[in-house]
Amino acid sequence: MQKYGGSSVADATSIKRVAGRIVAAKKAGHDVVVVVSAMGDSTDELIDLANEVSPIPPARELDMLLTAGERISMALLAMAIGNLGQEARSFTGSQAGVITDDSHGRAKIIDVTPGRLQNALDEGAVVIVAGFQGVSQTTKDITTLGRGGSDTTAVALAAALKADVCEIYTDVDGIFTADPRIEPKARRIRAISYEETLEMAANGAKILHLRCVEYARRNDMPIHVRSSFSEKTGTWVVAADQVARHLEQEGDSDMEQAIISGVAHDRSEAKITVVGVPDRPGEAAAILRALGDAEINIDMIVQNVSASATALTDISFTLPRADGQTAMTALARLKDQVGFERLLYDDSVGKVSIIGAGMRSQPGITATFFEALAAAGVNIAMISTSEIRISVTVSETHVDTAVRAAHEAFGLGTGEVEAVVYGGSGR
């Protein structure tokens, strides 16, 4: 199973290059199933066309339109493979048996019935599948899966076809210990668990989408993230108890155990503070209910301890910037009922997270992290933690400094620690 993104099939030259890789994999004796995205920015061009005819295109028709993009790239890729003497057959999401619910634009895969793909494989053909799309179980209409949909398609088909591995091809060499554009010393992670990858994805790392990793974890489908521009090994995303084995295969059996696997950052959030909330039971719940009703996912949340005689408290939380206006409107409607003083909106926040399964058994990680930020002059606003992650919000202008300070403090750039080894996660 291989998946190529839009930049890997941006033009005829790229498509021919990818075709060469696929034929090589087939010649090496593998059954090959390939999931492709639309070419380069063809999806954006289709969206522009849609906006020219309708300011708010109906979701069903937008899905019908956008799925033309993968249709074009998959047919061209099948032709390019055919031109190398290897039969290839392309299939739409619907033909491939990607069955979804009927939420146009953000459909969820609910079943995969890859009978036609299996037949084509049995007949010796390379199979090309359109990513990002499926067919609704109830309405039989064409759906798209939304962000990360092509990666998720690849993992879902890999699981349904019982593939050995799902290779996700991209324009970088794998998952890095930090964004190399911020920290030039960032290194490729050789192997990492599903759980840590989930935390990376949820906290701003762009390389794999949350849904795709969740799907892989649920089905224990190893993902190999690698570059379509080189033959190098990339990053293996596997079950926690398989990380060590993958490192051994690369001849790194004696490497030192790392505590932190990587540093993620996120500039897409905003912070809202509800000032002067009466410190009574149920007030915070009312605020969160209003946000939930508006379908806004909040991320970090902090409530100050009420210290004054007035018994008023402040509640701050972060949320996607895109939802900022909706949230402020929803909360403003709540002002009289809750009786808070005012709302503050701050969209110049950034979030920096350190992620590593090793921190479970290691005391002092939080101290090391905060000391490093303090030494770099970075002020911390909010804090949240999970079992394998510590996140802080900082001023957006301090994000780069904070990423570099954390990367340095945990020795991620030194070459001795290139991956994370730890025991089973228990899940």
Binding site for a copy of itself (CB under 8 A): 12, 15-16, 19, 46, 49-50, 52-58, 60-62, 64-65, 67-69, 71-72, 74-80, 82-83, 87-90, 95, 116, 140
**C-alpha separations of 254 from 31, 105, 410, 418 in Å:** 34, 47, 19, 12
Give the Cα separation of 150 and 172 in Å (integer).
17
**In the chain, count of helices (H) and strands (E)?**
12, 20
To 5 degrees, how large is the angle CA 69–CA 74–CA 78? 155
DSSP string, 358-396: GGGG-TTHHHHHHHHHHHTTPPP-EEEEETTEEEEEEEG
181 is annotated as contributing to ligand binding: yes
> What is the nearest approach in angstroms of a copy of itself to the Cβ of residue 411?
47
Listed residue (188, 190, 196, 205) closest to 148, CA to CA: 205
123 is annotated as contributing to ligand binding: no
Q: Is the Cα torsion angle 61, 63, 64, 68 positive or negative in sign?
A: positive
351 is annotated as contributing to ligand binding: no
Cβ within 8 Å of residue 182, ≥6 positions away: 265, 399, 400, 403, 404
167 is annotated as contributing to ligand binding: no
> What is the nearest approach in angstroms of a copy of itself to the Cβ of residue 107?
16
- Torsions phi, psi for 119 (to 5 deg): -60, -45
70 is annotated as contributing to ligand binding: yes
148 is annotated as contributing to ligand binding: no
> What is the nearest approach in angstroms of a copy of itself to the Cβ of residue 113?
13
> What is the nearest approach in angstroms of a copy of itself to the Cβ of residue 159?
24
Task: Rank residues 77 and 221 by Cβ distance to a copy of itself and give the closer one.
Answer: 77
Task: Rank residues 104 and 271 by Cβ distance to a copy of itself and give the closer one.
Answer: 104
Task: Rank residues 43 and 368 by Cβ distance to a copy of itself and give the closer one.
Answer: 43
H or E element: which one contains 53?
Answer: helix 42-53
342 is annotated as contributing to ligand binding: no
Q: Which long-range contacts (CB under 8 A, 24 or more apart) does 301-310 make?
A: 301/384, 302/382, 302/383, 306/279
17 is annotated as contributing to ligand binding: no
Is residue 325 helix, strand or coil?
A: helix
Task: Rank residues 50 and 275 by Cβ distance to a copy of itself and give the closer one.
Answer: 50
Q: Is the Cα torsion angle 189, 193, 196, 202 positive or negative in sign?
A: positive
> What is the nearest approach in angstroms of a copy of itself to the Cβ of residue 62?
7
43 is annotated as contributing to ligand binding: yes
- Taking a C-beta distance cutoff of 8 angstroms, is the pair 145, 132 a contact? yes
Task: Rank residues 76 and 198 by Cβ distance to a copy of itself and give the closer one.
Answer: 76
Task: Rank residues 20 and 423 by Cβ distance to a copy of itself and give the closer one.
Answer: 20
Task: Rank residues 140 and 181 by Cβ distance to a copy of itself and give the closer one.
Answer: 140
> What is the nearest approach in angstroms of a copy of itself to the Cβ of residue 283?
42
Q: Helix 149-160 to helix 210-219 angle, to the nearest 10 degrees?
A: 10
| Binding site members for ATP | 3-6, 170-171, 181
Residue set of the binding site? 3-6, 43, 70, 170-171, 181
Annotated binding site for substrate: 43, 70
